[in-house]
Structure 1
Amino acid sequence: MRRLVAFGVLAVALAACGSPQQAADQSTLAVGPSSESESAPVPPSSVPVTPGQVSGTAEQAGGRCTAAVLAGVVESTEAGAGNRYGKLVVTNNGAGPCTVTGYSGLQLLDAAGNPVPTDLRRTPDPGPAPVVLAPGAAAAANLHWTVVPTGDEPVDRPCQAEAVRAAAIPPDETQPVSLQWGLGPVCAGGKIEISAFYAA
Structure 2
Amino acid sequence: MRRLVVFGVLAVALTACGNPGPAAEQSTIEVEPGSSSDGVAPVPPSSKPLPASTASTPRASGRCTAAVLAGEVQPGDPAAGSRYAKLVVTNNGQAPCTLNGYSGLQLLDPSGQQVPTDLQRTTDPGPTLVTLPPKGRAAANLRWTVVPTGDDPVRGPCEPEAGQARAIPPDETQPMSLSWDLGPVCGDGKIEISAFYPA
TM-score (norm 1): 0.71
2:137 alignment partner AA: A
1:78 alignment partner AA: D
- Name the residue aligned to 1:7: none
Identity of aligned pairs, percent? 68
Q: For 1:75, what is the secondary structure of its paired residue?
A: strand
In 2, Cα distance between equivalents of 1:174 and 1:75: 23
Shift of 1:40: 9.9
1:124 alignment partner AA: T
CA contact (8 A) 2:151 2:188 kept: no
- Name the residue aligned to 1:199: 198
Shift of 1:153: 1.2
Compared CA separation, residues 107 and 40, structure 1 to 2 (3 A): farther
Aligned residue pairs: how many?
153
In 1, Cα distance between equivalents of 2:170 and 2:188: 24
2:188 alignment partner AA: G
> Deviation digits for residues 74-96 of structure 1, max 9, x if unmatched?
01111121100110000001111
Q: For 1:60, what is the secondary structure of its paired residue?
A: coil
Shift of 1:154: 1.4
In 2, Cα distance between equivalents of 1:61 and 1:125: 25
Q: For 1:163, what is the secondary structure of its paired residue?
A: coil
In 1, Cα distance between equivalents of 2:52 and 2:160: 51
- Name the residue aligned to 1:90: 89
Shift of 1:192: 0.2
1:88 alignment partner AA: L
1:87 alignment partner AA: K
> Deviation digits for residues 128-179 of structure 1, max 9, x if unmatched?
1111001111000000000000123112200000000000000000000100
1:71 alignment partner AA: A
Q: For 2:59, what is the secondary structure of its paired residue?
A: helix
C-alpha RMSD over aligned residues:
2.5
1:172 alignment partner AA: D
- Name the residue aligned to 1:169: 168
1:156 and 2:155 aligned: yes
List runs of 5+ in structure 2 lacking aligned partners: 1-50
Q: For 1:175, what is the secondary structure of its paired residue?
A: coil
In 2, Cα distance between equivalents of 1:148 and 1:199: 31
Larger Rg: 2
> Deviation digits for residues 52-90 of structure 1, max 9, x if unmatched?
xxx97xx71110000000000001111121100110000
1:123 and 2:115 aligned: no
1:65 and 2:58 aligned: no
More displaced stretch, 147-156 vs 178-187: 147-156
Q: For 1:78, what is the secondary structure of its paired residue?
A: coil
In 2, Cα distance between equivalents of 1:126 and 1:160: 28
> Map of 1:1-200 to 2, 5 A cutoff?
60-200=59-199
Report which of the two has the higher share of helix. Answer: 1
List runs of 5+ in structure 1 lacking aligned partners: 1-38, 42-54
Ranges of 4+ aligned residues in structure 1 off by more than 4 Å: none
